Amino acid sequence: MLPSNIHVATTILNAVACLIFSTLFIFLYAIETRSSTFSTWTESVVLGATPRMVSSIVETNSTLLHICDNGSNVSSRLAMPLISFSMNNVSLVGTVFTSASTVAIDSKILMGATLLISLLFHLWRIFIFMEVHDNPAVKDQLEPDFLRWIEYTLTSPLQIVVICGTVYTRNISDITQLAALQAALTLTGWTIEILISNLQIAKHYSDCNSRTHDFYQILQQLFIVFFSAVIFHIVIWANIITKYYSHEKRIQTCDFGFTELPAILGNIVVLQCILFSLFGLIPMLQVLYILYSKKQCNTFACAALAYGVLSVLSKGLLAIMFVKLITDDSCIYVNNNKVCLYT
């Protein structure tokens, strides 16, 4: 059975989460906002460019060079790449174009779905916690909770897509891959919790001076899975952060008519990166506690509470900042004309 203080804190968290998510969901659809839909594109490599196409590419690159020629590094300048190919001993040239995709993404719907899914899961948890203390479902909070990872697997990819929209990622392949990788990353959380549970059991049957072979084998498995999750996390956020700062760099080196992006865009990226990263800190603390604490305490109740707090913070803050983004804070002035991320 859950310790009384953890039980009370978890109950309060679930109630507060329901209040926050329901309020933000109603507010999101009650206020008047700009359109939150953005179009996407796909990349296409064109082979066998004709002399006329090559001439057009060179002319276009010359124009781009004058737009972005502020003493910047050549590698950072905008250009249509002229690619060389060789097929059956025949040399060909080509370039990369983007073509409009039929997929249009409405970030407002995705943000609303994130809030609604989380609201339903927290309502379910409140119902479970209202059961009597000896209910097996309540005792399950002392063990890995598979449904929590289902919730996060459903919601975190939607958050990633919303964040991608704020950094002007429009390639549908990039968006799909980042969202899918986030879902896969989240599901490793369930595997990690199972391994932590097995580690606790192995510790119970050993002592500090004599760890069993099973104990170290489980620890090795845990390290491999956790290291894989860290790599996934780095790949996702390196893509998002690189995309954002590449936009900032081009604004500084190119003559686009404005000198900076709205500050809220960078704030969203940095804040969400920190909160998503903190999810990985929780299993690390669990393992350290198991390794170095002499007590035989179960860590899953505290871990579930910590995960819940981070989930509410990441989704709640993203929703609040997204509302500001689709009202007026995404707009900049270019040559006295107002241009917005969402129009």
What per-residue confidence (pLDDT) applies to 150? 96
Query: Rounded to an integer, what distance in angstroms lies between the CA atom of residue 31 and that of residue 108?
Result: 12
- Is 36 in contact with 106 (CB distance < 8 Å)? yes
- pLDDT tens-place values along the chain, 343 residues long: 455 677 788 889 999 999 999 999 999 998 877 678 888 888 887 776 677 877 887 888 777 776 766 555 554 566 777 777 777 777 777 778 788 888 999 999 999 999 999 999 999 988 887 764 555 544 545 678 899 999 999 999 999 999 998 888 889 999 999 999 999 999 999 999 999 999 988 887 766 555 677 888 999 999 999 999 999 999 999 999 999 888 887 777 776 666 677 788 889 999 999 999 999 999 999 999 988 887 766 788 889 999 999 999 999 999 999 988 887 655 655 555 555 665 5
Tokens of 143: 């063990």
Q: Among the CATH numbers 1.10.3720.10, 1.20.1070.10, 3.40.605.10, 3.30.360.10, which is that of 4-39+110-331?
A: 1.20.1070.10
What per-residue confidence (pLDDT) applies to 77? 62
Cα–Cα distances (Å) from 34 to 108, 160, 168, 300, in that order, read 10, 20, 16, 42
Buried b / exposed e along 293-311 (16+ C-beta atoms within 10 A): eeeeeebbbbbbbbbbebb
Cα–Cα distances (Å) from 185 to 8, 76, 149, in that order, read 30, 31, 10
Query: Rounded to an integer, what distance in angstroms lies between the CA atom of residue 13 and that of residue 313?
Result: 11
Query: Rounded to an integer, what distance in angstroms lies between the CA atom of residue 138 and that of residue 116?
Result: 23
3-state DSSP of the chain: CCCHHHHHHHHHHHHHHHHHHHHHHHHHHHCCCCCCEEEEEEEEEECCCCHHHHHHHHHHHHHHHHHCCCCCCHHHCCCCCCEEEEECCEEEEEEEEEEEEEEEEEHHHHHHHHHHHHHHHHHHHHHHHCCCCCCHHHHHHHCCCHHHHHHHHHHHHHHHHHHHHHCCCCEHHHHHHHHHHHHHHHHHHHHHHHHHHHHHHHHHCCECCECCHHHHHHHHHHHHHHHHHHHHHHHHHHHHHHHHHHHHHHHHHCCCCCCCCCHHHHHHHHHHHHHHHHCCHHHHHHHHHHHHCCCCCCCHHHHHHHHHHHHHHHHHHHHHHHHHHHHHHCEEEECCEEEECCC
What per-residue confidence (pLDDT) applies to 140? 45
Query: Rounded to an integer, what distance in angstroms lies between the CA atom of residue 18 and that of residue 285?
Result: 27
Tokens of 277: 């990263």
> Of 156, 124, 98, 165, which is closest to residue 340 (Cα–Cα)?
165
> Of 252, 19, 14, 260, which is closest to residue 127 (Cα–Cα)?
14
Length of the chain, in residues? 343
Domain ranges in the chain are 4-39+110-331, 41-99
What per-residue confidence (pLDDT) applies to 132? 45
Pairing mode of beta strands 90-106, 331-334: unpaired
Count CA atoms within 13 Å of residue 110 on its CB side.
22
Cα–Cα distances (Å) from 42 to 45, 48, 173, 246, in that order, read 10, 20, 7, 19
